[in-house]
Amino acid sequence: MYTNLSRPQSSVLMQLRTSHIGLDAFLFRFHLAPSPDCALCLVPETFSHYLLSCLLYRRQRVALISRLGTACLSLWHLIAAKL
């Protein structure tokens, strides 16, 4: 599906697109996490929260926004961008 990516990169991107990734909101469904919530923000730890709003990753998000050259960060920008 992602011909220009390595197999591990393609796998992670597919996991992100389907939300089947090791974040607590997903893991909690299988009793693999004690709570579905982010330990810092106390909201469901989803792909969207992790990348767009989690306080723990604020500095990394600012760097990413700078690298993407956009002030409007969205899931589409993150999945479709060629970094």
The answer to whether residue 57 sits within a structural domain is yes
Query: Tokens standing for 12?
Result: 């992670």
Q: What is the pLDDT of residues 49-62, one digit of tens each?
A: 988 899 999 999 88
The answer to whether residue 1 sits within a structural domain is no
The answer to whether residue 56 sits within a structural domain is yes
Residue 23 belongs to what domain range? Answer: 7-80
The helix/strand/coil state of 7 is: helix
Return the pLDDT at 82.
56
The answer to whether residue 52 sits within a structural domain is yes
Q: How many domains does the chain have?
A: 1
More confident residue, 80 or 36: 36
Q: Is the pLDDT of residue 24 over 90?
A: yes
The answer to whether residue 2 sits within a structural domain is no
Q: Is the pLDDT of residue 40 over 70?
A: yes
Distance of CA 43 to the CA centre of its chain: 15
Return the pLDDT at 27.
97
Q: Is the pLDDT of residue 80 over 80?
A: no
How many of the other CB atoms lie within 10 Å of CB of 80?
8
Return the pLDDT at 1.
56
User: pTM for the complete prediction?
Assistant: 0.73
